Structures are given as C-alpha cells and as structure tokens.
A and B are shown apart, each in its own frame.
Chain A
C-alpha cells in the first residue's frame, strides 16, 4: 500500500516558476484526480511524482522515503501517457512484457501476468498485433495493461482519455472506475475535464496557476467551493458568478450589479461599500411569479433536452445566466421570465475571491 506526500514542491524552468510550493497527501488506495485548465501545472506535478521531472525545491515522499534523487525507473510507479506511448515495433504482448523483462522476471511469471491482464482488459485476441493495427480504445487498454502487469506502487494517468471520441471516453471512464474498484491501487489521474474528475475521484485536487485551489471530495468541492475559481471550474454547466457592489440595508445587504439588486441577509465578513461576487448554480434558480422574483430576464436560448431544459437568459447589468430546470418547459426565445435564487444554495465570495459563505440563512 502506498502513501505519496508532497512537501512544498516547487518547480521552475529557468526563471519561470510554474509550481509554487504544493503540499499534498495521497492516501493508500485513493483515486486522486488533478484537474485544472491547461497550463495550471497538473501534468508537471504528475511528472514530478513519476520522476520524469526534477523538483526545484521541496520533497516528494513515497512510503516515507524521500525520492527526490531516485530515478523514475526505481520509483516503482507505472504511468499511462496521453499518447499511450506504445512501442510501435513490438507486439501488444511484447509491449506489456517489456517492463517485466527489465525487472528480470522469469518467463512463466511474465506470461501469467500478461495473460491475466489481457483477460481483465479483454485484449486477448490482439496480443500478437502491433499497436498500429489497433483502434484508439484498444491502444488505450494496452497502455493500461502495460501499467497493470507491473503491479506498481501507484498508477499515474496523464489525460488518458483525451484522445478518444466522446462515446468511448464515457465507456472507458466507467471501466477505469471499475478497474480501480477491482485492483484497489493508489491512482493519480490528470485531466482537464471536470466531469471525469467528478465521476472518478475519491479526492479532487483543483490546480490553478501552479497552486492548489482546493482539494477534497467531489461533492464537497461542488457544494462548498473555497473560491471563485473552484466555483466556476467544478460543475457543468458552470455556476453563475456575478460581481456586485455591497450596500447595507438595515437587516442585511443589497448586492447591486447594474440595475439588479439582490437582497441577502447578514453575511459574516461582508462589508458595505466593498465589492463581492455571488454565485448560484443553474439548478438553484427557480422560475417564479413577478412578485417573488429576484431578477426579470429575457430568454436568449433554450436547450430542450427532453429530460431537462437549459435556459440562457440575459438581464440588464448581469452576465448571461444559465438556468437548469427538470422536465420540458414551454419557453421560447425572447420570452420574459422571472427568476428566484435559492438563498440556501447561494455562495458569496469576498473581493479577493475567497469564500465568505456557502449557503445563506433564509
């Protein structure tokens, strides 16, 4: 069982620092997903753990041992690359056996492990083929198989599904989750797709600009984002975030943006005359009557998916609001609707972008 710990890990390329002192603890058997927009340092962080990049500062600890100077080949980890990186001149069998041969494993043991992994991944019919003769999904399985046979301390995945088409990606995602349940190993998975992160992870680590924006269980991140970045990044379609000026109104505050004013109760840390951001997820906006409404908006686009409906609305002074409603709604483009924000699910962030409240008293 494997514990991986990062202590104040810094990575710089020459003058440019791309990872600014990350602390992280990955527990044994955990499925951890690094997620973030491109350039946030998630792949670099994975490569640092793998040993393919050297740290510029801090420590990488695997099972209590500092491995900063241990080369990638000695760390006992296995990695699945975005490009799969299958050896094109070897058959599928040879691809999977290569790592074991390097470990000087006896031939029968290699054969046993490869056959077993092939059976698990259903690639037995292709064992003698070259990677060139495989489809994308099959190559993906071989790449995973190459990692499995090694029985590594931990699996590292670098955006493994991004080269597959949408349908296959969903299927492989399920298989990966099943695989983790079956194998139970520690897995670190890098993706830019927050849906993959939400569905696969035990723990999500959201990275932004070389820092950890927030780490935690998927639903914790969804329900209690610590800052506007995580609030905007986790959840699809994204949370509606609105910048506002704060004004006191006696019992609470008015959040004013353009012509729209949202009345909220007292929020600790929120001060009058400062600026703030409030956020509300599309499913926490209700369509109500005129008297009850927070905002009156015009529908710009309505997406009827049958089981659910997305409305994209504009209101004076606000960015485009996304509204999610279950079922089918007889709403058309240009129609004026009245919206009410669910106060108990509203998030308020201060001027620095950090959260002040996840959910307001009603």
Chain B
C-alpha cells in the first residue's frame, strides 16, 4: 500500500497501472497477474469495442476482408448505367500510370472495371494490380436511419416502458412475498419457500404455451402488459430478498410493533429501506432480464407498434439479407441502458450479492 501511494503521488495514472507487490521489484507473480488481467480485458472488453467500432462502418466497410478495426470504408461511386454504387479502386495500369476505376464485378483473378468519368468503356485488370481507395468515415446513418425511418424510437419507448413498469412491479410483489416468508413464523413456511425455489427448475420453454393461452384468454396479446405481467413474480427475486430480510434483527421488527406500527408500516418503513442493497441487486437483474428479454416478447408481440427493441432488432434479420450495419448500431443502442445501470449501481451488486449469499 505504501509503495502504491508513494509512486502514485508523482505520476498518478502510471503509478496506478504499474502497481506491484511490496518492494517495487517485478516479481514473477506481478508479470503473471498483468498478463492474466490483460487477457481478461481483451477477452471481455474486446468484442464490445469491436461492436462499437463496427457499428460506425458502412456496409462495404463491414464486408471488407481482411477486416479493419477502425471504421474505414471503401469509397463507392454512383456510375451512370449502374443501379448500385460501385466500389472505387486505384489501379496500376500496364504503363505504370495509376487510375481511379470503379469495379463492376470480379471474375476469378480478373476484375471488370469502369472509369466513372467515362462509363461507356470497360477494362479488365488483374486483381493484384488494384488497391481499394478507402477513407475514414463514421457512418452515423447506421444510427439515424433506424431511429428515424424504422420506428426504432417507438421500440425504444416500448422497451423502456416494459423495463421500468415490470421492474417496479417485480420489486414490489417480490419484496412483499419475501417479507411474508422472512418475518412471519408459520407452519409450512419452509415448504412454501422450497416450492418457490422449485419453480426455478422449470424451463421457460415448457410454460411458454400454457402462459400464452392464459395471456390470450385475458385478451392481452399485442399489449405491453402481456410482456410485463407474466414474469413479474420471480423465484430468484423472492429468494434473494427473503435471504436478505432474514438477516434483519428481529428486535427491530418487535420494536416497530411496540411503536404501534401496522404490518404495512413495518414493511414499508423498516424492512424495505433496510433491504435496499438486496433490492438494488434485484432491480439490476430485473432491468437486465426485461431489457434483454427476447423469446417471450417475440411470442406475444406480433404487431410492429408494440415491438420492443430486441424484437425490432430481429426484424433487420431478413431471411436472405441481414443488414449488419443496422443490427450492430441498434445493438449498441440496446447496450447503453444496461451499461449505465451497471456503472451506477455496481457497488450494490457486490455488496448485495455478498450479503444475500447469492452467487
């Protein structure tokens, strides 16, 4: 600790990044630790970085091989007589001059090119004599187009409604169930708890059809309630909150009873505030579950205007054609709330998980 503090006084960041065991010498465990940590960062953070960078690439830039890390895109030009824009290449001609030509198609090792200035004339060149002309271009239209033309703002709004309302309902009813199972001592309490936890073993796919039938009977198909209500009571949530509430001293509950508090007051003003760390953990889980939920919304939401983001994303995945640039950009959008939730509430996650005995 002293070592770290002295070195950090001079160059804070470097001092922090090259912290070592005591003594200041590079021990092999220091090296091992750093290699391990760097590998971990690459493994976990690499895909996310790649996703964000790629979401700013043009469709052509995405298809390029070998792939580039930065959003470099080959320039495409509109040539008279061709419907689609054609990629632009710098071609070294036989006489040594370099010309900018657009490629019509590639046949084996030859490429058929056309001069954008002179669309009537076609030339065939070997593919190794041409070099793609690239530019650094941030394709913000990947974000703007879906948000404007594909109704993505609507999807975003639906997702936010589902997540917020479902999380509030989940927290409320799960904590009430947990209160009953933690504070009251009655016959069969453990049996009920076991039963609740037992439902964890039933996979979602098995109850999919029965739940769908219930939801249909209630006339909730194609409303957001169909997504919100069926998953509101979670065994994980009840278990997590109950285990935490068991740690609240019984004296506090009894003191509140002596203080003329009704059961609701005890729940609302004593137990709930004291369970805040566990509630935060469940809130984080619930937000992630609801935001990323795919299968159930796919089943009950069939009309475009009630789509959530995840279902909307799926719409970009046509049978023949996947619009990767949109998929990537909208994936980044869907990631933002989860990242924010983690950034602000992460200290609750560790304390809450540690104190509620959940792994």
Contacts and interface: CB of A to CB of B under 8 A. Distances in A.
Query: Do A and B originate from a single complex?
Result: yes
Contact of A98 (B251, B254, B261, B274): B261
Contact of A102 (B249, B260, B274): B260
Contact of A72 (B249, B258, B269, B273): B258
A102 B254 contact: no
A146 B256 CA distance: 11
Contacts of A215: none
Question: Which has the most chain A C-beta neighbours within 10 Å: B259, B260, B274?
Answer: B259
Contacts of A87: 252, 255-256, 270
A150 B251 contact: no
B249 A71 contact: no
A78 interface: yes
Contacts of A73: 257-262
B265 A89 contact: no
Given A73-B260, A99-B259, A85 B274 contact: no
B259 A150 contact: yes
Contacts of A50: 258
Interface string B270-290: 100110000000000000000
A52 B260 CA distance: 12
A72 B254 contact: yes
Given A72-B254, A83-B249, A83-B251, A89 B273 contact: yes
B192 to A, nearest CB: 21
Contacts of B258: 50, 52, 72-73, 77-79, 99
Contacts of A83: 249, 251
In terms of DSSP, what is the predominant structure of the interface of chain B?
helix
Interface in A84-129: 85-89, 98-99, 102-103
Question: Which has the most chain B C-beta neighbours within 10 Å: A52, A74, A85?
Answer: A85
Interface in B58-85: none
Contact of B255 (A51, A85, A103): A85
B257 A52 contact: yes
A67 B266 CA distance: 22
A89 B275 CA distance: 11
A150 B255 CA distance: 13
B274 A88 contact: yes
A167 B269 CA distance: 36
A81 interface: yes
B249 A98 contact: no
B251 A103 contact: no
In terms of DSSP, what is the predominant structure of the interface of chain A?
loop
A73 B249 CA distance: 18
Interface string A1-15: 000000000000000
B8 to A, nearest CB: 31
A358 B265 CA distance: 55
A86 to B, nearest CB: 8
Interface in A316-342: none
A77 B273 CA distance: 26
Interface in A35-80: 50-52, 71-74, 77-79
Interface string B234-266: 000000000000000101101111111110010
Contacts of B274: 88-89
A143 B274 CA distance: 19
A16 to B, nearest CB: 17
Contacts of A88: 274
Contacts of A51: 257
Contacts of A81: 251, 254-255
B252 A99 contact: no
Contacts of A72: 254, 257-258
A261 to B, nearest CB: 54
B261 A102 contact: yes
A52 B254 contact: yes
Question: Which has the most chain A C-beta neighbours within 10 Å: B257, B265, B270?
Answer: B257
Nearest to A158: B251
Contacts of B273: 89
A146 B259 contact: yes
Contact of A85 (B251, B260, B265, B269): B251
A146 B265 CA distance: 17
Nearest to A99: B259
B256 A98 contact: yes
A98 B255 CA distance: 10
A86 B254 CA distance: 11
Contacts of B261: 73, 98-99, 102
A102 B262 contact: yes
Contacts of B259: 73, 98-99, 102, 146, 150
Nearest to A78: B258
A77 B269 CA distance: 21
Contacts of B254: 52, 72, 79, 81, 85
A103 B258 CA distance: 11
A48 to B, nearest CB: 13
A102 B260 CA distance: 6
Given A73-B262, A102-B262, A102-B265, A85 B249 contact: yes
Given A87-B270, A88-B274, A99 B260 contact: yes
A24 B182 CA distance: 35
Interface in B285-326: none
B263 to A, nearest CB: 9
Nearest to A103: B260
Interface string B171-201: 0000000000000000000000000000000
A44 B250 CA distance: 15
Interface string B126-141: 0000000000000000
Interface of B: 249, 251-252, 254-262, 265, 269-270, 273-274
Interface of A: 50-52, 71-74, 77-79, 81-83, 85-89, 98-99, 102-103, 146, 150
8 nearest CB pairs, A to B: A99-B259, A85-B255, A85-B251, A102-B260, A89-B273, A72-B257, A73-B260, A79-B258
Given A72-B254, A89-B273, 10 more contacts: A52-B254, A52-B257, A52-B258, A74-B260, A79-B258, A81-B255, A85-B252, A88-B274, A102-B261, A146-B255
15 contacts: A52-B257, A72-B257, A73-B257, A73-B258, A77-B258, A78-B258, A79-B254, A79-B255, A81-B255, A85-B249, A85-B255, A89-B273, A99-B258, A102-B259, A102-B262
